[in-house]
Structure 1
């Protein structure tokens, strides 16, 4: 195995994947959301950075080619698991997450079955866009969790009638409930839109990989 800076960055990204979930074991929310968001964004940035360095320094290796997609999938799968687990289990969130998880398992199984011919399933430009949109969606959904919990902290001790009067402008908004509510609503909507877009790209790229693999899956007569 050849260790260089791009490969080390990829390995660190792989190790960061379970750390996203660990944040919710050791920290209360919204601090856990903050740490998970920073960790996830840092990993997403290194995803671009290690690939760029490997190409620029001509340090592309088999180890890096193997670890890179595993790290990407681990980051996305674990982060989605955390978001869904700490959500209200809305079908609008669960369904796209299910499509994404199914596709990742399906394509991984295809690559494993094809073995030496798995090179036919090289990462396409559309698949890279899929990964980018997935990471954007997850980042925005982590941000939504942050605003949601700051809103709850700011409204702590208030009854619903007082909160309603503040939101209607009848009482001065000293705690910033309005902007926190708006931020929570819009990051939630944007995160869902991006997640559904990522799910659509996930299904398209999954079908593309299946189509390329079909000649190798037919039974010989």
Structure 2
């Protein structure tokens, strides 16, 4: 176990603290719950940058860390988006079209991951710049939605719509990027090509001729020969 892995596990433990506190604030409006949710969210965001820096600086990258780090980010984002999708007098409600785009894209990527892993054995994942922008914008939407309910930070919730729109556009663009990449990996798998037996069967079918057609052609040729004589 490396230090970045411990930090990622700590971030995973912060997710339920963030969710429970935010749900309690959405229901009761308790200021303590709001500050707890804000603290858990900010610590998770800052520690995300810290574990990445340590992994790169001290060469402590690992396969477990490559799994835990994005998992912690995704759980924090998804939980925040889900809570903000509910109607509450204490929290702004995110638009349905953004929630649908984010969850639809994630569901597509999850299904694609299982399909490609099943047939290819291993999926080649190359994070795109647009994907990173989408993640940052989604994180910004959650942060703006949570922090913008109080006057201490001076954030206006009216701007939240435009951040949601930008996050939705970037999220939809990543779908258009990853779909062709996934199809390219599937096409390279030998199992995606026709099997040998099926190819032979198709070849035989191409050369099969109806016997009645042969008999009809032979009879027509004989009649033409008789008329000529």
- TM-score (normalised: structure 1): 0.73
Bigger CA radius of gyration: 2
**Uncovered stretches (5+) of structure 1, i.e. residues with no partner:** 148-179
Residues 33 and 146 in structure 1, CA contact (< 8 A), matched pair in contact too: no
* Residue-pair matches, total: 182
Whole-angstrom distance in 1 between the partners of 2:110 and 2:138: 17
1:140 counterpart = 2:138: no
Residues 24 and 30 in structure 2, CA contact (< 8 A), matched pair in contact too: no
Q: How does 1:58-77 map onto structure 2 within 5 Å?
A: 58-77=59-78
Whole-angstrom distance in 2 between the partners of 1:137 and 1:90: 11
Match of 2:106 in 1: 104
Whole-angstrom distance in 1 between the partners of 2:82 and 2:75: 10
Shift of the alpha carbon at 1:81? 0.7
Match of 1:220 in 2: 193
Higher relative contact order (CA 8 A, sep 6+): 1
Whole-angstrom distance in 1 between the partners of 2:65 and 2:142: 24
Over the aligned positions, Cα root-mean-square deviation in angstroms equals 2.4
Match of 1:118 in 2: 123
Residues 22 and 34 in structure 2, CA contact (< 8 A), matched pair in contact too: yes
- TM-score (normalised: structure 2): 0.70
SS at match of 1:60: coil
The superposition leaves residues 79-103 of structure 1 with CA deviations (integer Å, 9 ceiling, x where unpaired) of: 0111112447998622112211221
Against the structure 1 CA distance between its residues 15 and 187, is the aligned structure 2 distance closer, same or farther, given a 3 Å change threshold? same
